[in-house]
DNA sequence: TTGTAAGCGTTATCAC
DNA sequence: GTGATAACGCTTACAA
């Protein structure tokens, strides 16, 4: 910048004003144009690090996650980066692979870089143990909660999701709807089930415990649970599976029994794992969790916090993706 | 650091030396210990930005991709971050969603931050058009190539992958092996096919054009192509599908014909899309592309370039993941 | 409308 | 062993 100023016969201050397009200081249009032209010509590139140091802001947001290598993690990263982009900020990433030591050291490194906020995203909807150092900077948790005061969370609305899935089956005329659920105790399991129950109750149907089964998230379990439901004396005609993988298993159970989907039994999944849902035959109607939106929300909440607003936990609603299994 | 120095009655220089554990300058052990203790006590945190400015290095690597939200992108990010971590560097991420304008502006922003290198990762194995600005800094392409001089690439070894998949079927005793391939022209398609052909030729088998079909990467196409192969007068007993999604379709074609996997027809996929491969019934034997390793390699190549070494394109071999479909 | 000069928080070179 | 002092590349009061 010094070279530029000398080249133009101006002071560094003037060049800085002109380049930053500041309106609170009067610079003649002619001068501004000369400066900009010279900057381009000489290939001048402002040094963001030096700007940070002088201006006392870094435009950097820290992103810590245990899972970049999943559709979930990637989606959040993408949303967060897009939102940061709009604010002319960049994302500094640490992926911990769940290792608490990497996590703690990573947070330290990010704080050394003076990130203006921290996004902490986890693979599973769970309670997270944050390194103590995060207190130093506004933090938003994604897909998890923490007892640490001041940390706010962005969570998917499991209840609404379960409700939407079940409503879809009801709308298609189904009256006996089975739930192939995740193991009890998980927020995802509890939430999806209460959405399911709310929808049935609203439709004036009675809750039948025999129609609700639970197990782990695998296709094998989905197969077993769905098989038991379909083998009931009065089997369900609709199946809400709490994950797409479980729905995959349910497909097999149905096919083995000669049941056509959706004619004989309709299936709704959860997660919208593109690879599974879109390519299952028939394609799976399922609930998409708002990954990218959660990333966007996290960065926006960080910005709001920085602006002095009080920020509360947020819950984001998924979206029913209609395909051909209902 | 000034406060610390004053608090200790030392100069800033001494504090800096002590904290950085420098051996080229003599500091008494006692002084060093005092400084470190005081730093901890006062909660002193070095300012990485200021260090960068003074030391003329940023320890920052730029990462531009069109696809964080895929297992592929996430895997590369994870590998790159892990490799950067070992070198005490951090990753600055821009996800372009394929938009050339975001890409170009993003690269500019990264250069403004004085990243020490750039990783450019694409979703599809393809030829990329890089913004001109990347010339300013060492660049490694991942999963793509460029005509720009000086840019090196990290690519998956498609031929080896096709070879390994076919060898697995041969090892299981199959002599008629069908290839459900991607559309012609793609590096993935050409490479996997030549691996397939090499394996067959080495085994002394003749190449039968009728056993090779191609189409797009979907399960539907996989179904169609596999169906045609299985309906041949002399059908193959083994199927190598160029993507796991295609293998998913092939499973359906086999099941519809009452063929058991792997007893009546064995299947090998490609990609190791966990969600599909691990949960297909039976679980799919497939070739895993080395995503994370590619990210690691990219960062290591950047480091080597920075160290003045001459770096060449690298090709990384995948790994056969044995499950139950052969 | 432009210039001067004092930071911003470090590292690095010397001299002592 | 330690301390001055000058960078590093910018922003920003304040003066002119």
CATH no., domain A59-156+291-317: 3.40.50.2300
Interface of A with B in 174-203 (CB under 8 A): none
Helix (H) or strand (E) holding B209: none
The pLDDT assigned to B298 comes to 97
Distance CA(B307)–CA(A70), nearest Å, equals 33
Which residues in chain B have their CB less than 8 angstroms from residue A252's CB?
281
Provide φ and ψ at B6, rounded to 5°: -60, -45
**Contact at 8 Å (CB) between B201 and B207?**
yes
- Tell which of A58, A61, A68, A288 to mutate to test the B interface (max B CBs under 10 Å): A68
pLDDT at position A275 over 90: no
pLDDT at position A104 over 80: yes
Nearest residue to B236 (alpha-carbon basis) of B244, B249, B227, B248: B227
Is the minimum CB–CB distance between A83 and chain B shorter than 8 Å?
A: no
Q: Which CATH number fits domain A2-46: 1.20.1410, 1.10.260, 1.25.60, 1.10.3470?
A: 1.10.260
Q: In angstroms, how far is the first alpha carbon of chain A from the final one?
A: 64
Strands, E, within chain A: which ranges? Answer: 60-65, 90-95, 117-127, 139-145, 152-156, 177-182, 212-215, 238-241, 266-271, 285-288, 314-316, 319-321
**Contact at 8 Å (CB) between B118 and B137?**
yes
Which residues in chain B have their CB less than 8 angstroms from residue A123's CB?
none
The pLDDT assigned to B60 comes to 97
- pLDDT confidence band for A265 (50 / 70 / 90): very high
In this prediction the pTM is 0.91
* Interchain proximity B275–A52, CB inside 8 Å: no
Q: How far is CA A235 from CA A42, A96, A168, A176, A230, in A?
A: 76, 45, 19, 8, 5
| Structure confidence by residue, pLDDT tens digits, A114-170 | 999 999 999 877 777 888 888 889 999 999 988 887 789 999 999 999 999 999 999
Concatenate the DSSP letters of all residues of B244-282 into one string.
Answer: HHHHHHHHHHHHHTT--TTTT-EEEEEE--HHHHTTSSS
The pLDDT assigned to A177 comes to 98
Size of interface A-B (CB pairs under 8 A): 159
Which residues in chain B have their CB less than 8 angstroms from residue A96's CB?
none
List the beta bridge partners of residue B139. Answer: B118
| Structure confidence by residue, pLDDT tens digits, A72-98 | 788 899 999 999 999 999 999 999 888
Can you give the pLDDT of all 326 residues of chain B as single tens digits? 888 888 888 888 889 888 988 877 778 888 888 888 989 988 899 999 999 999 899 999 999 998 767 777 888 999 999 999 999 999 999 998 888 899 999 999 999 999 999 999 998 777 778 878 888 899 999 999 888 877 899 999 999 999 999 999 999 999 999 999 999 999 999 999 999 999 999 999 999 999 999 999 888 999 999 999 999 999 999 999 999 999 999 999 999 999 999 999 999 999 998 878 887 889 999 999 999 999 999 999 999 999 889 999 999 999 999 999 99
The pLDDT assigned to B241 comes to 98
| Structure confidence by residue, pLDDT tens digits, A299-316 | 999 999 998 899 999 999
Distance CA(B179)–CA(B4), nearest Å, equals 69
Place of tokens 């002590």: B18
Give yes or no on whether A2-46 and A158-288 have one common fold.
no
The percentage of chain A sitting over the pLDDT mark of 70, rounded to a whole number, equals: 100
Query: Which residue on chain B is closest to A58 by alpha carbon?
Result: B49
**Contact at 8 Å (CB) between B139 and B150?**
yes
Q: Using CB atoms, which residue from A113, A273, A276 is nearest to B49?
A: A113
Distance CA(B176)–CA(B199), nearest Å, equals 12
The pLDDT assigned to A139 comes to 94
Residues 44-63 of A with CB under 7 A from strand D: 45-47, 50-51, 53-55
* Interchain proximity B45–A75, CB inside 8 Å: no
Per domain, the residue ranges of chain B are 2-46, 59-156+291-317, 158-288
Fold entry, domain B158-288? Rossmann fold (3.40.50)
Distance CA(B176)–CA(A310), nearest Å, equals 67
Handedness of CA A252, A256, A262, A265 (dihedral sign): negative
């Amino acid at each position: 910048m010094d070279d530029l100023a000398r080249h133009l016969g101006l002071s560094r201050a003037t060049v800085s004003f002109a380049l930053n397009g500041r309106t609170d200081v009067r610079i003649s249009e002619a001068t501004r144009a000369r400066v900009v032209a010279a900057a381009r010509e000489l290939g001048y590139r402002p040094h963001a690090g030096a700007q940070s140091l002088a201006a006392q802001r870094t435009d950097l947001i820290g992103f810590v996650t245990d899972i970049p290598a999943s559709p979930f993690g990637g989606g959040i990263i993408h949303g967060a980066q897009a939102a940061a982009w709009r604010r002319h900020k960049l994302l500094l990433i640490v992926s911990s692979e769940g290792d608490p030591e990497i996590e703690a050291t990573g947070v330290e490194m990010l704080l050394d870089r003076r990130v203006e906020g921290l996004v902490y995203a986890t693979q599973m909807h769970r309670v997270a143990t944050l390194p103590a150092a995060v207190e130093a900077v506004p933090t938003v948790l994604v897909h998890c909660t923490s007892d640490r005061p001041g940390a706010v969370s962005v969570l998917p609305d499991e209840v609404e999701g379960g409700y939407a899935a079940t409503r879809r089956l009801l709308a298609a005329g189904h009256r006996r709807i089975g739930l192939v659920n995740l193991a009890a105790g998980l927020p995802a399991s509890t939430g999806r089930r209460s959405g399911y129950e709310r929808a049935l109750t609203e439709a004036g149907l009675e809750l039948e415990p025999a129609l609700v089964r639970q197990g782990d998230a695998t296709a094998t379990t989905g197969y077993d649970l769905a098989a038991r439901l379909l083998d009931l004396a009065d089997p369900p005609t609709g199946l809400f599976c709490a994950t797409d993988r479980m729905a995959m298993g349910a497909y097999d159970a149905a096919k083995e029994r000669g049941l056509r989907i959706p004619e004989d039994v309709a299936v709704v999944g959860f997660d919208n794992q593109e690879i599974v849902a879109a390519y299952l035959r028939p394609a799976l109607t399922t609930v998409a969790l708002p990954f990218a939106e959660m990333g966007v929300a996290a960065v926006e909440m960080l910005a709001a916090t920085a602006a002095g607003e009080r920020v509360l936990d947020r819950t984001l609603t998924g979206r029913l993706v209609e395909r051909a299994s209902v």
